[in-house]
Structure 1
Amino acid sequence: MTGPRIQTAPHLTDQQTAVLLAFARGQQPGKIATALGISVHTVRTYLRAIFVALNAENLANAVGIACALNLLDSDQILQGGPHAR
């Protein structure tokens, strides 16, 4: 007999968090890849892994879930947005 299944909060790696944050700031995959020193293919692979980890359907959903779970915070997103001064 097994006990109740305990769900743990999703975990993102530091690289996955950096990729999600960059997308949330409106950056394009090529710019994200260059900034992180990885390939565009790797950026897209991380994004797919983020969707799975967060059970997200799209980027906006992933960002919302990450913010709700305190994996990202809105101040982080706003500080580095494409229109930040």
Structure 2
Amino acid sequence: MSRKQRPRDKDVLSPLQSAVLLGHARGEQPSQIADHLQIGVRDVRLHLRAVLVALKAANTTHAVGVACALGLLSSSDILEGERHVR
């Protein structure tokens, strides 16, 4: 993705979208993310779709990479939660 196509605003994702993307990046299942955030599984999927649009990403893996490149997620954020997953 070229710099011209990337979103520039650090607030491009809502706090809930960021939380859903972080859970996904940590390898959590949608049901685990939903339980943690106290929302429905369908809502998790809808927020992930919104993240794809907001970050102009082709898929969720790409979205995690774009979010990291923009400073919206860091590897330490992702790794911090890894011990809680499983």
Same fold? TM cut 0.5: yes
- Other-structure match for 1:77: 78
Equivalences, count: 77
- Other-structure match for 1:24: 25
Structure 2 unaligned regions, length at least 5: 1-5
Q: What is the alpha-carbon distance in structure 1 between the residues aligned to residue 50 and residue 7 of structure 2?
A: 17
Greater C-alpha Rg? 1
Amino acid at match of 2:67: A
Structure 1 unaligned regions, length at least 5: 1-6
In the superposition, the TM-score normalised over structure 1's length comes to 0.85
- Other-structure match for 1:3: none
Root mean square deviation of aligned Cα: 1.5
**4+ aligned runs moved over 2 Å, structure 1:** none
In the superposition, the TM-score normalised over structure 2's length comes to 0.84
